[in-house]
Amino acid sequence: MRVRITFSKQGPLRFIGHLDLHRLWERAMRRAGLPIAYSQGFHPQPKISLAAALPLGFSSRGEVLDVRLNEELTVTDISTRLQESLPPDIKIIDVQSVDERLPALQTQVLSAAYNVHLTEAIDGSELTRRVETLMNSESLLRERRGKSYDLRPLIEMLSVITEANGKVWLKMTLASREGATGRPEEVLSALGIEADTTRVERTRLIFQA
């Protein structure tokens, strides 16, 4: 069966990278005694795929993976067994059985939503003005790893939230397709905000219907 798991990644596990997270899941599933399917060949690999790499340092409330199992189990059973085997900073949010024939999970991601908390005080109205200027521009050429690209079309939504207590933070949705992935730290940099004065959380991944 093919199982889709939505989970959160918080606390110290924010500093665990993509490959390490992959291995963490493999071990958790083994501890839970789930019958993971393995690829054929000389070095069999467990059939686990993560939807989209989460940058180091970001927490998340909506990571998604697909795993193939050799036996049919109930989603409740899978969920209970896994939660007991996971480190405390990964929590299962949802487990679903999905159609085996669906295309690979990574190819179905369209975009990703983020909340950005600012750890240093900032002038809310000035920030709002900068966000408006950015969103009103046609294009925003930036350079990353020596290559020039247009960041503007990758930003689907960007807004400043001002809470009743005066706390200001940002919400954004960025494209997350193969070859067209918007990075939150690039948007922050375009707004003149230093990445190390922020705490970013991915709130959800948006998939093709």
Partner 1 sequence: MFGMLTPEQIENKLDRILLKVQKPGRYVGGELNSVHKDWDKVTTRVALVFPDIYDIGVSNVGLKILYDQVNQREDALAERAYAPWLDMEPLLREHGIPLYALESKQPLACFDLIGFSLPYETLYTNTLNILDLAGIPVRSEERDDTHPIVIAGGHSTNNPEPMHAFIDAFVIGEGEEVIHEIIDVVKKWKAERNNPLSAFRREDALRELTKLQGVYVPRFYHTSYMEDGTVAAIEPTISEAPKVIHKRIVAKLPPPPTKFLVPNIDIVHNRVSVEIMRGCTRGCRFCQAGMITRPVRERSVEEVVAAADEAVRATGFEELALLSLSSSDYTYIKDLVDAISKRFEGRKLTVSLPSLRIESVSVDLMEKLKQHRSGGFTLAPEAASERMRRIINKFIPDEDIINTTREIYSRGWTTIKLYFMIGHPSETLEDVQAIADLCKRVIAEGRKVAGWKVKLNAGVSTFVPKPQTPFQWVSSDTRESILEKQALLKRELFKDKSIKLSWTNPDDSLVESWLSRGDRRIADVIYTAWKNGARFDAWEEGRKFETWMAAFAEHGLDHSFYTHRQRRTDEVFPWEHITAAVRKNFLFQDFRMSLEGQIRVDCRLNCFACGILPTFANLRRENPGEGWKCPEVKTPARKMEVELPLVGD
Residues that bind partner 1 (CB under 8 A): 11-17, 19-20, 23-24, 26-31, 38, 44, 56-57, 85-89, 119, 195-196, 199
Shortest Cβ distance from residue 86 to partner 1 (Å)?
8
Which residue lies nearer to partner 1 by CB, 18 or 129? Answer: 18
Which residue lies nearer to partner 1 by CB, 26 or 156? Answer: 26
Which residue lies nearer to partner 1 by CB, 69 or 110? Answer: 69
In sequence order, the 6+-apart residues with CB closer than 8 A to the CB of 189 are: 142, 195
Please compute, for residue 162, the number of CA atoms within 13 A of its CA located in the half-sphere on the CB side. 9
In sequence order, the 6+-apart residues with CB closer than 8 A to the CB of 142 are: 148, 149, 150, 151, 186, 189, 190
Determine the Cα–Cα distance for residues 139 and 150; give it in Å rounded to an integer.
6
Shortest Cβ distance from residue 110 to partner 1 (Å)?
27
Shortest Cβ distance from residue 18 to partner 1 (Å)?
12
Angle at 50 between CA 48 and CA 54, to 5 degrees: 150
Which residue lies nearer to partner 1 by CB, 36 or 174? Answer: 36
Helix, strand or coil, per DSSP, at residue 126: helix
Determine the Cα–Cα distance for residues 13 and 105; give it in Å rounded to an integer.
23
Which residue lies nearer to partner 1 by CB, 35 or 153? Answer: 35
Shortest Cβ distance from residue 35 to partner 1 (Å)?
12
Shortest Cβ distance from residue 128 to partner 1 (Å)?
26
Which pair of tokens denotes residue 157?
């939504």
